[in-house]
Amino acid sequence: MRHLLLFVVLGLTLTLPAGAQEIPEPVLYELLPADYRYPIARICYTDEGICSIPIYVAPGTPCKCRRPDGTWVKGVCTH
């Protein structure tokens, strides 16, 4: 019985998507709505929205996000 349970658990592990795949990873510098619902490690906050920036950027540092039309919007790293 234990072998069957182990087999079922192993089978589910191999067929279900990994947890990291369930949360989309935003493209760096791509402007997102301010109410983006997924976690982002480092955020650049602008008047038009937020974007993901590299983790090495310190909070309080000026940054920029790119709008869909290619225009860059100035902001500040908030966390």
- Domain with 70 in it: 24-79
Q: Count CB neighbours of 36 within 10 A.
A: 15
pLDDT tens for each residue of 19-77: 545 888 899 999 999 899 999 999 999 999 999 999 999 999 999 999 999 999 999 99
76 part of a folded domain? yes
**Interatomic CA distance for residues 78 and 43, integer angstroms:** 6
11 part of a folded domain? no
Contact 63, 57 (CB under 8 A): yes
pTM: 0.70
pLDDT at 22: 82
73 part of a folded domain? yes
Query: Taking 60 as the threshold, does the pLDDT of residue 7 lie above it?
Result: no
55 part of a folded domain? yes
65 part of a folded domain? yes
What is the tally of structural domains in the chain?
Answer: 1
61 part of a folded domain? yes
46 part of a folded domain? yes
pLDDT at 58: 96
pLDDT at 21: 57
